[in-house]
Amino acid sequence: MRFSVTRVLLILALLSPPAWAACPPRPADVSPPPAERQQVDLERELDAPWQAGGAIVLYCDAEGRPQAGRSSHPPRDAAEEQARRAEHWALARKLNMAKKGEAHPRGLPLAQPQRELLQRFAMADAGAVWLREVADDSLRLFNKGYLDYDRALWARSVKAGRMPPLSRLLTGKLTDKGLFAGDAQVFKFSGYAGPGAMAHPGAIGLGDGGLRCQFPASNELVDPHAILSHEFGHTRYGDPASGGSLLGEARTVERYENPVRVRNGFEARSVYFERVNQGALEAKKDSLVERLLRLERQRGISVQDLSSVERYHCDCSGPLPIILDCEVRERPAGEDASVPAYEHDCKLNWKPEPAPLR
C-alpha cells in the first residue's frame, strides 16, 4: 500500500506532541492573593505547620497575558517549604532592594552583611511569614500590569508548556502603567547611615553602623530575627500606627518580637511589655508600660510625648534602648570566661564604632 507525502505528514503530526502548548488558564486549585492585605497574626502563623503559603503559579488571562496566584496545596515536605521561601527571597532581591535614595532621602544600598542577614531571616519561620506578605504585594502589582516582565521568556515558556518562576520572569522594573499608578507602592529594604534598624509602613532600613549583641538598658541578648520581625510589625503588614509611641512599641514587642524570641530559644524581652487585649489579660507587674502609665497618672506626662518621657528615662534604670542586633554563638569549651561573649561574638557589627576621645 502506497501513501502520499501529505498523508504521511498528517499521520506524523497526529502522533507527535504539539509544538505549541496552549496558554494555560488558571487552575482550579489556584487563587490570586486577596485584594486587600490583612494584618499579620504572627503567633497564629508560627503555630501553623507551614509559613510560606501556597506555591506561586503562573497562568494566562483571557488575552494570553501572564497572571500569578497561589496553589492551595501544602508543601510535600520541608524541602518544598524551603523552596517556596527561596522563591520569595528571590522576588525580594529582584523587586524590593532599594537603590540609593529610593526608600528615604538618605537611603543607601544594602551592604553584603545586611543582605545576608535578610536572607537568613527570609528562610526562617518568622521571616517566611513576612516575606510571604511582601511577595503577595508583588503578585497584586503583577496582576494589575504594574511590573515589567520578559516577554520573550514568557513566549518561549508558553510554547514549551513549562512556566518559569515568577522571580525569573520579572525584570525588576515598573511598567509605564505602574510608574504613573497611584497604588503601585513597592515595599523597600534599604540601608541608612547610623546604628540599628528602623521601619515605616513601606520600608525597613538597616543601619550601616553595625548591630550590637545586647540591649544597653537591660543587658538582654538580642535575637536578630526577632528585631527584624519587630520592624515588620511597624510596616503595613503589621500595625503601621504602632511606631512613634512607647505604648505602640510595647504592643509591637509582644505581638511581633517576643513570639520569635521564644521560638528561637531566647527569654521574652521585658523592657517593653503590654498585653494587647487589656480586657482579658493584665500587663506584667512593674512592666515598662505599667511604669509609663504611672508617670502619666502621677506627673501628668503624656505617654505619647517621647521627648518628655525620655527625660525621665521612663522611670527605669537606664535610657531607652535603641533597637540593635547581633548573632550569638555558644562559647567554645576552654575559652576565657572573663571576656564577655558579646565583645567578640557580634558578627553583624560590620562597621566598628570609633574609639572614644579621651
Range list of β-strands (E), 124-169: 147-149
Q: What is the pTM of this model?
A: 0.72
Q: Are 102 and 163 in the same domain? A: yes
End residue of a domain, out of 160, 179, 198: 179
Mean pLDDT, to the nearest integer, of 101-123?
83
| Inside any domain, residue 195 | no
Torsion angle of alpha carbons 256, 262, 268, 269, nearest 10°? -50
Q: Tell whether the model's pLDDT for residue 18 goes beyond 50.
A: no
Which pLDDT tens digit goes with each residue over 113-144?
A: 889 999 999 999 999 999 999 999 999 999 99
Query: Between 112-123 and 125-143, two packed helices, what is the crossing angle to 10 degrees?
Result: 100
Higher confidence at residue 317 or residue 115?
115
pLDDT band at 307 (very low <50, low <70, confident <90, very high): very low
What is the C-alpha radius of gyration for the chain, rounded to an integer number of angstroms?
25
Q: DSSP string covering 272-337, please?
A: S---S-TTT-PPPTT-HHHHHHHHHHHH---TT-HHHHHHTGGGSSSPPPP-------PPPTT--T
Q: Are 270 and 165 in the same domain? A: no
| Inside any domain, residue 348 | no
Q: Are 30 and 133 in the same domain? A: yes
Range list of β-strands (E), 177-257: 188-192, 197-200, 203-207
Q: Are 150 and 21 in the same domain? A: yes
Beta bridge partners of 30: 71
pLDDT at residue 298 in the model = 59
Compute CA distances 168 → 90, 133, 331, whole Å.
8, 19, 42
Q: Tell whether the model's pLDDT for residue 107 goes beyond 80.
A: no
Q: Cα–Cα distance between 257 and 260 in angstroms, integer?
A: 5
- Strand pairing of 188-192 and 203-207? parallel
| Inside any domain, residue 351 | no
Question: Domain of 232?
Answer: 211-343
Mean pLDDT of the chain: 75
How many structural domains compose the chain?
Answer: 2
| Inside any domain, residue 1 | no
Q: Are 71 and 215 in the same domain? A: no
Q: Are 20 and 163 in the same domain? A: yes
Q: CA 95: distance to chain centroid?
A: 13
Which pLDDT tens digit goes with each residue over 178-220?
A: 999 888 899 999 988 887 888 989 999 988 876 667 776 566 7
pLDDT at residue 141 in the model = 96
Q: Are 26 and 124 in the same domain? A: yes
pLDDT band at 340 (very low <50, low <70, confident <90, very high): very low
CB within 8 Å of 206: residues ≥ 6 apart: 110, 114, 117, 118, 189, 190, 191, 192, 197
Q: Are 30 and 84 in the same domain? A: yes
Q: What percent of the chain has pLDDT over 70?
A: 65
End residue of a domain, out of 133, 157, 179: 179
pLDDT band at 283 (very low <50, low <70, confident <90, very high): very low
Q: Cα–Cα distance between 118 and 112 in angstroms, integer?
A: 10
Of 216, 231, 250, nearest to 321 by C-alpha is: 216
Residue 139: left if φ>0, alpha if ψ -120 to 50, beta else—which one?
A: alpha
Q: What percent of the chain has pLDDT over 90?
A: 45
Q: Are 161 and 20 in the same domain? A: yes
pLDDT at residue 13 in the model = 44
Q: Are 43 and 121 in the same domain? A: yes
pLDDT band at 276 (very low <50, low <70, confident <90, very high): very low
Q: Tell whether the model's pLDDT for residue 345 goes beyond 90.
A: no
Q: Are 86 and 120 in contact (CB under 8 A)?
A: no
Higher confidence at residue 224 or residue 297?
224
| Inside any domain, residue 200 | no
Q: Are 244 and 153 in the same domain? A: no
pLDDT at residue 333 in the model = 57
Q: Cα–Cα distance between 102 and 279 in angstroms, integer?
A: 42
Of 68, 72, 74, nearest to 32 by C-alpha is: 68
pLDDT at residue 120 in the model = 94
| Inside any domain, residue 88 | yes
CB within 8 Å of 351: residues ≥ 6 apart: 208, 209, 210
Q: Cα–Cα distance between 290 and 271 in angstroms, integer?
A: 11
Which pLDDT tens digit goes with each residue over 61-85?
A: 888 899 999 999 999 999 999 999 9
| Inside any domain, residue 357 | no
End residue of a domain, out of 179, 196, 220: 179
Q: Are 81 and 75 in contact (CB under 8 A)?
A: yes
Q: Are 70 and 140 in the same domain? A: yes
Which pLDDT tens digit goes with each residue over 6-17?
A: 554 444 444 444
pLDDT at residue 251 in the model = 84
Q: Are 132 and 50 in contact (CB under 8 A)?
A: no
